[in-house]
Amino acid sequence: MRWDEKDQTSANTWLHVDMNAEGVVHALEEEGLPPHIVRYLTRAETRPAARAFGSGLGLILRGINFNEAQDPVDMVSLRCYVEPRRLVTVRSRWLASVQETRRQLEEGTDLWTPVDVLLTIVEKLTAKISSHIDGLDLQLEASEAATQQQEDEDFGVLRNQIAAVYRFIAPQRKALTMLAQIGQAHFTEDQLEQLAECEDLTQRHVEDLELHRERATSLQQARLNAMQAEQNRRAYALSVVAGLFLPATFVTGLFGMNVAGLPGTENASAFVIVLAGMVLVSGGVYAVLKLKKWF
């Protein structure tokens, strides 16, 4: 069992544990947590959600993965349970927002209650999501510039990144809304206002991600249209060239037959006459195509 933090100043407790550690379920039960809350904090699959548990509140969040050699959009889950005098957080992987809040406590910042600590974590986690979404916006702008310069750009990867973040941010906004509703009796007016700011920012995240997804789709479609137009231009040029040489091809095929009775076989000027005829016919085809403005 690994205890990342257990601070009991002012009769308040923050217990932060690694759910991958051995004996985590037993250790949480020894802290006096009921079995149904322990199951809530340690279940394998989670999505952002908020839930009331009698005198306590449960909250499941997702944060950007800043762990080394890992994909940032592989978002890290954080399971929280808060009571008037106790906060329990359970993480599956290292989460920067939690560590920054811990350092803030160690530096003596006044976070008086477990709810204050929880909301600080939510605030920092939301800010880091903002930073990541801003990075996606910069990637979109760079991709848009590359598209305008006719450079190849893979929008599929960018769209997958946006979708991966959106998958958890959309329910996370609903989770914060639900937390505000069920936390009326647990939170002060200032705490509710702090939570409302995080909720508003998360709502903007959802809107930004929807916009980014539409932009990525539009840019990808524009790129595909440009590629299709270029292919059509090339195919059209080849068709024009084939049309110009079609009469000559017919004549050479006709006179290339290895049968008796072909005209001009005994005439030394036949080759020049046939060649001139082919040039004249091809010139006539060119003039007709130009007159009809086909190219």
Can you give the three-state secondary structure of 101-126, one letter per residue? HHHHHHCCCCCCCHHHHHHHHHHHHH
Mean pLDDT of 180-202: 92
**Shared domain check, 272 and 191:** no
24-33, 57-66, 67-76, 161-170: least confident range? 67-76
Q: Quick check: 20 and 95 in contact, CB under 8 A?
A: no
pLDDT of the residue at 202? 93
Task: Give the pairing of strands 76-82 and 86-91.
Answer: antiparallel
37-51, 87-101, 227-241: least confident range? 227-241
- Helix, strand or coil for residue 257? coil
**Token pair belonging to 207:** 């809107």
**Token pair belonging to 65:** 């993965």
**Shared domain check, 251 and 171:** no
**pTM of the predicted structure, to 2 decimals:** 0.72
CATH number at residue 174: 3.30.460.20
CATH number at residue 248: 1.20.58
Residue 133 has pLDDT above 80, yes or no: yes
Distance of CA 208 to the CA centre of its chain: 11
Among residues of the chain, what percentage have pLDDT more than 70?
A: 91
pLDDT of the residue at 151? 57
Strand partners, 88: 15, 81
Tell me the average pLDDT of the chain.
83
The answer to the question of residue 233 being in a domain is: no
Neighbours of 37 (CB within 10 A): 21
DSSP H/E element including 10: none
pLDDT of the residue at 2? 30
Q: Domain count for the chain, please give it.
A: 2
The pLDDT confidence band at residue 84, using thresholds 50, 70 and 90, is confident
**Shared domain check, 142 and 8:** yes
DSSP H/E element including 31: none
Structural domain including 116 reads: 3-227
3-17, 113-127, 273-287: least confident range? 3-17
Among residues of the chain, what percentage have pLDDT more than 90?
A: 26
Residue 87 burial class via C-beta count within 10 angstroms: exposed 0-12, middle 13-18, buried 19 and up: buried
pLDDT of the residue at 111? 65
pLDDT in tens, 244-287: 788 778 778 777 777 777 777 777 787 788 888 888 888 887 78
* Dihedral sign for Cα atoms in the order 194, 66, 167, 132: positive
pLDDT of the residue at 204? 93
pLDDT of the residue at 171? 92
- Helix, strand or coil for residue 227? helix
pLDDT of the residue at 140? 82
Residue 238 has pLDDT above 70, yes or no: yes
**Shared domain check, 246 and 218:** no
Q: Quick check: 247 and 282 in contact, CB under 8 A?
A: yes
pLDDT in tens, 104-115: 887 776 667 899
**Shared domain check, 249 and 206:** no
**Shared domain check, 115 and 261:** no
pLDDT of the residue at 6? 45
